[in-house]
Amino acid sequence: MLLTEQQIGIRNMAREFARREIVPFAARWDRDHEVPIATIAKMFEVGLMGVCVPPAWGGAGADFVSYVLAMEQIAYGDAGVANIMAANNSPVAAAILAFGNDDQKERFLGPIVSGGAMAAFLLSEPGAGSDAAAICTRARRERDGFVIDGAKCFVTSGASADIAMIFAVTDPGAGKAGVTCFLARTKTDGYVVVRRERKLGHRSNDTCQIALESLRVSTSDILGKPGEGLKIALSALDTGRIGVAAQSVGVGQAAFDAALSYARQRKTFGKAIIDHQAVGFMLAEMATRLEAARQLYLHAAVLKGAGHECIMEASMAKLFAAEAAEFVTSSAIQVHGGYGYLKDFPVEKFYRDQRVFQIYDGTNEVQKMLIARELKKK
């Protein structure tokens, strides 16, 4: 697709930021299991934490296509940093913008868009991942609000976040209509970081198990209406899948660029390995799958930005892009030969980082279910 001047400008800004502020340090952050807060602060400064939020609330006021283009570039630098960016932008900021009132936007949206506050999305539980309606966390009503008790897992920025979006059951007898969404400060008593997970990839950000132990929230902190929690969660996940597709392309592109550079320099049997058909054809296949994945996520983003239903297109984009990322990163290791297996070269990190794209925001198996369901409607 042809991009607008604004979309090109934001993509290029994110590309320059990633190359300057992320790429040179990503290997160290991977080893240290953290990203410096100073780097996150710079992301706030350049508008990466609220790309689609109107300027009135501190955002960049750009469209959704601009956001996913920027997401691809940040993921090119480091997938963990891209996840931090994703949590603030969508689901959390997008949900508050869509369902929040002015008071909530003042207290929660502004800080996570331009005020330096990080956000976390607390939906998944030990017994409820892809089946979001099966959550067991409870919020019981008290005179001055609600008290929340439960356990959440796989929470991006769970330890470093300042603001949490929490999903809990307020009416156990109402089924899917009994889930409510709450906004809370993580410094509130009852928000407990149980552990930081040790992960295969995305090591620069913290992914945590969180215990909610009699966490008190006010009725004014309900996002949307009571019982709309699942609706809010699913709308966020739909948007998030397009973002995951963009992340997949970003990591895949980084692996491809590394493989292409190596293939041009490495010589065997008197010529660069790119001139051997076996390697040249592999690179051609990698480039083709990446571009196809990019066009799929851009198509879904255009539909989303225009307000059209895009469940099938978003699922197709995530499914294909996640599988393309695995193929491309694996092939990049193959191009490097034995060196690709060493931490001295970046492709082993790209391979580790991409694997979760087939799991979070709905596994690829769930994406196939959603696509099949949409096909039945045609």
DSSP letter string, 78-142:
-HHHHHHHHHIIIIIIHHHHHH--HHHIIIIIHHHHHSS--EEEE--BTTBSS-GGG---EEEEE
Query: Is the pTM here over 0.75, yes or no?
Result: yes
What amino acid is encoded at 206 in this protein?
Answer: D
pLDDT digits (tens, 9 = 90+) for 257-300: 999 999 999 999 999 999 999 999 999 999 999 999 999 999 99
Contacts of 372 (CB under 8 A, 6+ apart): none
User: At 68, is the pLDDT very low, low, confident or very high (cuts 50, 70, 90)?
Assistant: very high
**Euclidean distance between CA atoms 125 and 241, whole angstroms:** 19
Contacts of 261 (CB under 8 A, 6+ apart): none
Terminal alpha carbon distance of the chain: 25
Per-residue confidence (pLDDT) for residue 131, from 0 to 100: 81
DSSP letter string, 308-350:
---HHHHHHHHHHHHHHHHHHHHHHHHHHGGGGGSTTSTHHHH
Tell me what percent of the residues of the chain surpass a pLDDT of 70.
Answer: 100
Residue with tokens 């940093």: 81
pLDDT digits (tens, 9 = 90+) for 7-55: 999 999 999 999 999 999 999 999 999 999 999 999 999 999 999 999 9
Three-state DSSP class for residue 177: helix
Of 287, 274, 267, 263, nearest in space to 340 by CA? 263
Three-state DSSP class for residue 206: coil
Residue with tokens 């409870």: 138
Q: Are 239 and 89 in contact (CB under 8 A)?
A: no
Kindly state the tokens that stand for 173: 């007898």
pLDDT digits (tens, 9 = 90+) for 133-177: 899 999 999 988 999 999 999 999 999 999 999 999 999 999 999
Half-sphere exposure of 373 (CA within 13 A, CB side): 10
